[in-house]
Chain A
Amino acid sequence: MTDSPGTKARPAGPPVIVWVAEGTWQASIDAARQLAPAGAEIVLLHVTPQEVPGAAHGAYAGLLGRGHPERDPGSRVEELATASAAELLNAAARRLARPCTRTQRHGRAEREVTAAAEGAGLLIVARDGDRTRGGPKSLGPASRFVIDHAPCPVLLVWPGPPPAGGLPPAPPRPPRHQPGRR
């Protein structure tokens, strides 16, 4: 689904893609407000992972003999997912308070985001993972994939204030080389 309410002027330069994901979208939107070039087209992108309705479809398929397709919870989850994604994109557009395009995709999140970023000037992604420390494993598998494979510059933002405490302790020095010892 794509729409572009309030788009008035011809956008200047390649678009800025904002990945709107549950839990972290506000930080991404705030970054877009501050850093997207004036006049650039802003695309708000939400991806519903196919595994979510897929899990419900699979669970129902496992109930041998109950075959009423109208009772398949996966179909209901798909409807709910479409509605909640639209609601989330609307909330994000209100927070952005700039003309923008809202796009919903379904599939594997990391691949859909990477594909949508083709030809973009900037992709804004919020960091996920444990917020109580800087790292390691600061990114989930989907974010990691997007950062590895994005075809455009990526802006990675913290979804909240970064944790205090600075850097972790430095690793121990490697042992000095001693000739004759193995």
Chain B
Amino acid sequence: MWCLLATTVPGLAGSGWMPVTTPATLGGPVLNAAPAEAVSVAVLVVVLAWAVARPRGWPEAVAAVPGAVVVVAAGAISGHAALTEARRLGPVIGFLAAVLVLAQMCDDEELFRWCGAWMARLSSGRPRRLLALVFAVAAVTTAVLSLDATVVLLTPVVFATAARVGARPRPHVYACTHLANSASLLLPVSNLTNLLAFAASGLAFPRFAALMVLPWAAAIGTEYVVFGRFFGADLDAGAQALPAAPPPGAPVFVLVVVAGTLAGFAATSAAGVDPAWAAFAGAAVLSGRALAQRRTTPAGLGRAAAVPFLAFVLGLGIVVAAVVGNGLASALGPLLPGGTSLPALLAAAAVAAVLANLINNLPAVLVLLPLAAPSGAGAVLAVLLGVNIGPNLTYAGSLATLLWRRVWHQHGAGPSLGEFTRLGLLTVPAGLILAVLGLWAALHAIGG
């Protein structure tokens, strides 16, 4: 008899809750391990397949929330353990919602359009200089406003900027898509995977950033060097600008609020308060202003907060907890070495990258965090490097998504996968190794 025992991980005081698997008896009756694992794996497969295929355009939560109910009802996870997982994920989801609203408000205030005009002016018609500016803007946008902001909001702006400068758009658009993953290492808010790892690591916000700044720089530096060579012909082709509209004025209010939110992350951490409040405050200031000026509506704010997505994360989290608790932990456990030696960190990052490429980085991090957390913050961050940098290896972030997309033929003839794959092979292994070296050095310099 196995069941999921929710307990605090020793040594991670104040870090929130981590489910760890023990052959415990708490939580009431559950199924035997084999049927429970079969049920929870089947539910997980359905939830993930639905999330990728989205039949009739229905939200992902339509499968994930009932999926969570099914695993509880079937006894694959006890009601107590599911509730504990939901309580653990709740603050993370709230934090995520605040960041999503903050990013959307920034876009509504034309922050990204202003960035585009600024990049066009500073690039002086030189594609290589434009690429450096795109790298800088995409890296900062991803770090501060999350990878969603870079993919959804910044990428079209960067394309338009390249067109305005008269440069070939390919390197710049690729830079956005790659940096949305590889530059999402720096802050807990940069990626949903980071928020989950942040809660699991027990680190304070500034310490998380201090440990991840070297890996972040290493990953971005690797991408930059590879891009300069890989897209040499496009970058050396020059640029011939077309007449453009005058640039918009700087969105000073937004810039001040975003800077204040960043300062708030450090201040709340120093005061022992959840840094999510700083994100809430920043989102509230921008939303309140937009509502007062009638530039958005409460419904618009609801859409920005992506409520169905938040419900999906909650449902997925409970289903994955059931899968991990019923045998996956013991199956994957030997693959994930303990400790924070350099070989252990490299192995943890590699396992995480492979798993992220097979399924997707979100379920991958949910599976691996409970296994890595007992080894300490260093192991958690190594897993994070793998799940964040790894998805650049495959178009669409994972093999599973790619196969489903191919089956569904969502985008006509489909992309040329050769170029994506070659670029991924050149950037991901090198970037991952250098980032792990950076993490290892940071752990030695300032401690985990």
Interface residues of A (CB under 8 A from B): 21-26, 49-52, 54-67, 69, 71, 73-74, 76-77, 80-81, 84, 87-88, 91, 107-108, 128-131, 137, 139-143, 159-160
Contact = CB atoms under 8 A, between A and B. Distances in A.
B155 A140 contact: no
A123 B181 CA distance: 40
Given A23-B240, A52-B169, A159-B237, A64 B415 contact: no
7 contacts: A50-B413, A54-B395, A58-B396, A64-B362, A65-B316, A130-B232, A159-B238
Given A56-B151, A62-B398, A159-B237, A23 B166 contact: yes
- Secondary structure at the B interface, as helix, strand, loop or mixed, is helix
A64 B309 CA distance: 9
Nearest to A50: B415
Given A23-B238, A64-B360, A56 B155 contact: yes
Given A65-B312, A81-B159, A128-B237, A88 B177 contact: no
* Residue from B54, B169, B306 having most chain A Cβ neighbours under 10 A: B169
B173 A55 contact: yes
Interface of B: 48, 51-52, 54, 57, 59-60, 64, 127, 147-148, 151-153, 155-156, 159-160, 162-163, 166-170, 173-174, 176-177, 180-181, 232-234, 236-240, 242, 306, 309, 312-313, 316, 360-363, 391, 395-398, 401, 405, 410-411, 413-416, 419-420
Contacts of B234: 23, 128, 140
Contacts of B414: 54
A33 B152 CA distance: 42
B51 A73 contact: no
Nearest to B237: A23
Given A73-B152, A81-B159, A87-B242, A62 B236 contact: no
B238 A61 contact: no
Given A22-B239, A54-B411, A57-B411, A140 B397 contact: no
B176 A59 contact: yes
Contact of B240 (A26, A59, A69, A140): A26
A51 B174 CA distance: 9
Residue with the highest number of chain B CB atoms closer than 10 Å, among A56, A63, A65, A77 = A65
B233 A59 contact: no
Contacts of A108: 416
A88 B164 CA distance: 10
Nearest to A54: B415
Nearest to B312: A65
B156 A77 contact: yes
Contacts of A73: 151-153, 155-156
B185 to A, nearest CB: 16
B151 A65 contact: no
Given A63-B148, A80-B160, A91-B242, A56 B236 contact: no
Contacts of B176: 56, 59
A49 B396 contact: no
Contact of A65 (B180, B242, B309, B416): B309
A143 B44 CA distance: 47
A20 to B, nearest CB: 11
